[in-house]
Amino acid sequence: MSANQKIAILSVYDKTGLLDLAKGLIQQNVRILASGGTSRMIREAGLAVEDVSAITKAPEMLGGRVKTLHPAVHGGILARNLESDEKDLAEQGIAKVDYVVCNLYPFKDTVAKVNVSIPEAVEEIDIGGVTLIRAAAKNHSRVTILSDPRDYPGFLEELEKGDITEASRNRYALKAFEHTADYDTAISGFFRKEYAGQGEQYMALRYGANPHQKPAAAYTVSDKLPFKVLCGSPGYINLLDSLNAWPLVKELKQALGKPAAASFKHVSPAGAAIGLPLTAEERKVYFVNDIEGIESSALAQAYARARGADRMSSFGDVIALSDIVDVPTASIISKEVSDGVIAPGYEDAALEILKKKKGGKYLVLQIDPDYNPSPTETRTVYGVTLQQHRNDVEISPKSFDTIITPKDAGALPENAARDLTVATITLKYTQSNSVCYAYNGQVIGLGAGQQSRIHCTRLAGDKADNWWMRFHERVLNIKWKKGTKRPDKSNAIDLLVSGELPKSGAEREAFEAIFEKVPPAFTDEEREAWMKKLKNVCVSSDAFFPFIDNVFRTSRSGVNYIAAPSGSQNDNAVFETAEKLGITFVQQNIRLFHH
């Protein structure tokens, strides 16, 4: 070997393109050292290759588990162009290594096998290969690391022209780090399932978003999951709802100083509210007339409002509660069709009530109230990893102190600032596009996940209208047949207040069958007269209103306050329309898209 001859060490599982690479290296007078099957394949092709033992002076040992772990290998790879390094190499008789070609056995293939044992998995964990890759990538300012056979042709083209450019070495090093990171992720994933402990750091789920999406799991790389399962077994969507709903109620309480509740369905709120006293009419509309102790439980009042805002959408909800769950709150939950609840704690008696629900299978999660997630969020979609800073903007009544119109308006009334806070924090956890109507400390209409802003506004406005129509004396005085179930009452009321009453046939018969006396449909005049009584509703939008049609629609539902970001080319027309309609328009500086 000449003093200036370059050295390459090859040790690959994936032997795609290996012989072409070896030929190219030999043509450029590169000395090839290889281990195990890599060396054998090159030699059998009649190409010049030496075993790594030629420089280590040590044979492969421990059944092949030790091949390249030697100072002669790693000293040659890690040496820099420093006088002190040159001195160490000379004293030990070690030559610099210039190129490392290494890729790893796909550990994912091992653990994908049915009933793979821990000893089988352990046997496939590469040590020497990972060390080769990591050492070469660490010293990529001098050493070229190839971990992907697709890079061989480009590498050889550069080598024929002289040497490998810094840009290529950087790119190859990044790919190498990603290769070992993916490998380590597969290993840690396998052992997380085996050793992390169900419910501590890793939790197997029944399935993913749909029954055919298996396997599914929830896990954390920190010490333990931030919640405990006190009853039931969470599903994938249960956790999506729970982990979106909990921060919503946590932030509502922090912003407004009162217990908060949210009713979640399909990763958006069906309702959210803070605990304010309930009127006699509200208790009747929200089906909580029979809840003992509700008058002294702000948390129960909050959930009654959150659940009662849109009972049709809340059917089968996941509930989030900001405070320790008491008996009145648990009593409401026990009467409703619901999938689960997440809260920081539960009174013993309340927990016993909840554990009886769904035959003992009702999901009860206890969240660590002091848990703070990482500021960085990562998710994978269609094999592509997306990353962003978590939406940690804080919303409070102080967020609404910039009034755009009318220009001579003073500070917002306390109730308006409160209700805009409720609406805007709710939007932060609602699938976009979204618009929220709020009144008296609660959401009364929410349009979620619509592609068009006006459709959000209409959907939310229609829900707000339906909510208000439920307070009409015709609805309050409905006489139900004995034994009518709560969901059937909710559906019948929804048909009545929305104007969607069936006209005839079996559907009409089914509708009439649950009443002692069938209530007549609302006329347009009756509806209009009742809607005029609703005032001081607040609306918040997760992005700007691009057209005046949104403002016109809100005005039909008793809206007197709108908060939205500016930035539309049509801002002036929107603001002018709001002023003409007697609506105060407040600047909300933060866009709040959520997906």
Give the chain's length. 595
DSSP-derived secondary structure for 406-433: STT--SPPHHHHHHHHHHHHHHHTSPSS
CA distances for 304 relative to 141, 284, 346, 428, 454, angstroms:
64, 10, 18, 22, 29
For residues 152 and 20, is the Cβ–Cβ distance under 8 A?
Answer: yes
User: Would you call 138 a catalytic residue per the annotation?
Assistant: yes
DSSP-derived secondary structure for 108-165: HHHHTSTT--HHHHHHT--SHHHHHHHHHHHTTTT-EEE--GGGHHHHHHHHHHSS--
What's the token pair of residue 287? 């089906």
Residue type, 294: I
- Measured CA to CA, the distance from residue 311 to residue 271 in angstroms comes to 9
For residues 120 and 110, is the Cβ–Cβ distance under 8 A?
Answer: yes
- Measured CA to CA, the distance from residue 150 to residue 148 in angstroms comes to 5
Q: Which of 15, 175, 224, 266 is labelled catalytic? A: 266
3-state secondary structure string across 528-541: HHHHCCCCCEEEEE
Place of tokens 């009662």: 308
Cα dihedral sign for 124, 125, 128, 134?
positive
User: Would you call 266 a catalytic residue per the annotation?
Assistant: yes
Q: Which of 138, 193, 358, 489 is labelled catalytic? A: 138
Which H or E element spans position 247? helix 236-256
What's the token pair of residue 253? 């309480």
Which residue(s) pair with 50 in the sheet?
33
Strand pairing report for 268-274 and 260-265: antiparallel
Backbone angles phi, psi at 245, to 5 degrees: -75, -40
In 158-197, which positions are buried (b, 16+ CB within 10 angstroms) versus exposed (e)?
A: ebeeeebeeebbeebbebbbebbeebeebbebbebeeebe
- Measured CA to CA, the distance from residue 348 to residue 487 in angstroms comes to 28
Using only the alpha carbons of the chain, give its radius of gyration.
33
For residues 133 and 73, is the Cβ–Cβ distance under 8 A?
Answer: no
Nearest by Cα to 584 from 396, 394, 401: 401
Report helix, strand or coil for 3.
coil
Place of tokens 């006006």: 454
Report, in this order, helix, strand and coil percent for the chain, each rounded to 5: 45, 20, 35
For residues 45 and 19, is the Cβ–Cβ distance under 8 A?
Answer: yes
Q: What own/partner pairs with CB < 8 Å and gap ≥ 24 does 114-118 have? A: 118/194
- Measured CA to CA, the distance from residue 429 to residue 248 in angstroms comes to 7
Tell me which residues are annotated as active site.
Answer: 138, 266
